[in-house]
Chains A and B, each alone.
Chain A
Amino acid sequence: EAGVTQFPSHSVIEKGQTVTLRCDPISGHDNLYWYRRVMGKEIKFLLHFVKESKQDESGMPNNRFLAERTGGTYSTLKVQPAELEDSGVYFCASSPPGGGRNTEAFFGQGTRLTVV
């Protein structure tokens, strides 16, 4: 069974450009999460989808970030325009339907974004 897959693994862009990160969750997982780790700091929650609906987007930094999950399958996270402080590792995770605190979230390998 394929795990959570993220594309690209690395991205280097200039300030002001647009970048789109993609996450393919484990098949059948209704819950999809985005997290971000800025260098040297903790991994922080960005948002949570249940199928195609945004359940919680309280962690999104500002309106330069747009997450979508059309059809409840893969998700994209677009940063437009990118700023220097957006650099970091973006993780995607998914978990089975039903959720709950006892449910394990499976993480992808992350996308390392560098804004120069």
Chain B
Amino acid sequence: AQSVTQLGSHVSVSEGALVLLRCNYSSSVPPYLFWYVQYPNQGLQLLLKYTTGATLVKGINGFEAEFKKSETSFHLTKPSAHMSDAAEYFCAAHNFGNEKLTFGTGTRLTIIP
């Protein structure tokens, strides 16, 4: 069964610094991959997704992620953190043969002024 691992349940970065949130998936066949963000008191919002084609995917709010098959990874990055990026981020994979998403445990991002 597919599993998604997010290293680091809490990550803190200074405002203006690089944001790197890690995500690895388990399946030998690459799934479709997603990053969602949850701001306080809001629902999950899609940041970006990888399906096929270009392995570097750009999303909203300056985030991007790179799919690396050799590393079974889909890490999320942003060159310069902003205070408004403080939220919880979830990596997810679409299982083959059905419609459900498999999520990681989430990473709470704190931005230090």
Query: What are the residues of chain A within 8 A of B99 when measuring CB–CB?
Result: 31, 33, 48, 55-56, 95, 99-101
The answer to whether the Cβ of B4 comes within 8 Å of any Cβ in the partner chain is yes
Complex: chain B residue closest to A9, CB-CB: B41
| CA of A95 to CA of B46, assembled, Å | 13
Q: Chain A contact residues (Cβ within 8 angstroms of B): what range?
A: 20 to 34
The answer to whether the Cβ of A44 comes within 8 Å of any Cβ in the partner chain is yes
Among the listed B31, B100, B106, which residue makes an inter-chain contact with A59, where contact means beta carbons less than 8 Å apart?
B100
Complex: chain B residue closest to A56, CB-CB: B98
The answer to whether the Cβ of B63 comes within 8 Å of any Cβ in the partner chain is no
Query: What are the residues of chain A within 8 A of B32 when measuring CB–CB?
Result: 101-102
Given contacts A43-B90, A102-B51, contact A107 B44 (CB under 8 A): yes
The answer to whether the Cβ of B94 comes within 8 Å of any Cβ in the partner chain is yes
Of B90, B100, B103, the most chain A CB neighbours within 10 A belong to B100
B residues whose Cβ falls under 8 Å from a Cβ of A: 4, 9, 31-32, 36, 41-46, 49, 51, 90, 92, 94, 96, 98-106
